[in-house]
Amino acid sequence: MTRSLLALAPIVAPALALLAAPAAAEPVKVGMITTLSGPGAGLGIDIRDGFALALEHLGGKLGGQETTVVEADDQQKPDVAVGLANRMVERDRVNVVTGVVWSNLALAMMPTLAGGQTVFVSPNAGPSQLAGSQCNPWFFNVAYQNDTIHEAMGKHVQDAGFKKVYLLAPNYPAGKDSLAGFKRFYKGDVAGEVYTQVGQLDYAAELAQLKAAAPDAVFAFYPGGMGINFIKQYEQAGLKGSVPLFGPGFSFDQDILAAVGDAALGAKNSAQWSPDLDNAPNKRFVADFKAKFNRLPSMYAAQGYDAALLIDAAVKATGGAVKDKEKLRAAFKTARFDGLRGAPVRFNTNNFPIQTIYLREVVKGPDGAVTNRLAGTVFTDHADAYAKDCGLK
């Protein structure tokens, strides 16, 4: 008997050692569903490139684990986005989905991702529904709730003494949230409230109506190609210089400014980030993004970068056990990281940020490029208006 046990020792000992050893860290797979074609492609490309730069800065690994990014173009179409979400959950078996620009796409994808217990990290889309009564434990927004950036501009316009403001936005969830947010803090008269088609590029009729209303200021939310055309046509209509144009940072983002140039100079906008924020991570991000992609980064690029930092922090908190879906979700809830905003990002109970919102002004930089410069702080530790309706703890 003793000799038999001794004979088994060379086999049993390694087996016991394997059982005692900690499990190898699991590779991380991220689904990058974003808009890479059509008028909104610039926004998705910026998010993708910002995420890629963060991954490069992290040595190609999230949470120290080998990382694969599965990229797909949602074409800015809800049905395409839902199909891609299903593919990411069922076939690609990703651990996290990110990249989504548009709120209507995020709302359409949420049931599929939550049903598959797949963490959804939004680098942009923050519809009021997912912040309030339809909040979801699998959804995290690293940027803002849609209303908050617009709320800041509503407060600035109110404080600046404007009495009669004309409002315009695209007719989709983020557009409706934008004007609701603005009106939450602006208490003057609304000269007009107009919702235009998503993707609309000709605003001649709307600008004619705007002129007839004779407002003392205009607030417009138009991201991407919509913003480029609106600002150009605003100047062509002779309104620039006579009726001040305000907007959220999306309407005066770097992609838009590169296309419209001097037509945007002097415009004030609100944002949670600015390229001239004075902190080391942001300085590195701006310099390296410009060197790598030969353009200045936009808000969307900064948000893509921060999304990668959040995922990195959550994966670290799991010890690399990303296949444990509940453990990964819980790690996002408690994750702490220093983003590009210069201070740790703090999540509210609804998984949306509590943060500072700045006032920016469109100026010419030292190199002659049209860009944004910090002009003040509107809110500090600002939370969205919908968290009270969310049942999460």
Where in the chain are the domains? 28-144+278-347, 147-271+358-382
| Residue 46 burial class via C-beta count within 10 angstroms: exposed 0-12, middle 13-18, buried 19 and up | buried
Q: Is the separation of the CB atoms in 304 and 46 below 8 Å?
A: yes
Cα→Cα distances 73→33, 44, 52, 79, 302, Å:
6, 9, 16, 12, 20
Which residues, 6 or more positions from 272, have their beta carbon under 8 angstroms from its beta carbon? 143, 144, 148, 149, 249, 341, 353, 355, 356, 357, 358
Q: C-alpha dihedral over 89, 94, 99, 101, to 10 degrees? A: 10
The yes-or-no answer to whether 28-144+278-347 and 147-271+358-382 have a common fold is yes
Rounded Cα–Cα distance for residues 303 and 283 (Å): 15
pTM for this one? 0.89
Fold for domain 28-144+278-347? Rossmann fold (3.40.50)
Residue 16 has pLDDT above 60, yes or no: no
CATH number assigned to the domain with residue range 147-271+358-382, chosen from the 4 options 3.40.50.300, 3.30.930.10, 3.30.2130.10, 3.40.50.2300: 3.40.50.2300
Exposure letters 170-206 (e unless 16+ CB within 10 A, then b):
bebbbbbbbbbbbbebbebebbbebebebebeebeeb
Cα 99 from chain centroid (whole Å): 8
Considering the chain, what is the average pLDDT of its residues? 93
Structure tokens at 141: 């927004």
List the single range of 23-37, 147-161, 254-268, 313-327 with lowest mean pLDDT: 23-37
- By percentage, how much of the chain surpasses pLDDT 90? 88
Which residues, 6 or more positions from 67, have their beta carbon under 8 angstroms from its beta carbon? 27, 28, 29, 30, 55, 60, 61
Band of pLDDT at residue 196, cut at 50, 70 and 90: very high
Rounded Cα–Cα distance for residues 196 and 168 (Å): 7
Task: Give the pLDDT of residue 8.
Answer: 41
Structure tokens at 295: 């353009």
Task: Give the pLDDT of residue 294.
Answer: 96
Q: State mean pLDDT over 32-47.
A: 95
Which residues, 6 or more positions from 116, have their beta carbon under 8 angstroms from its beta carbon? 89, 90
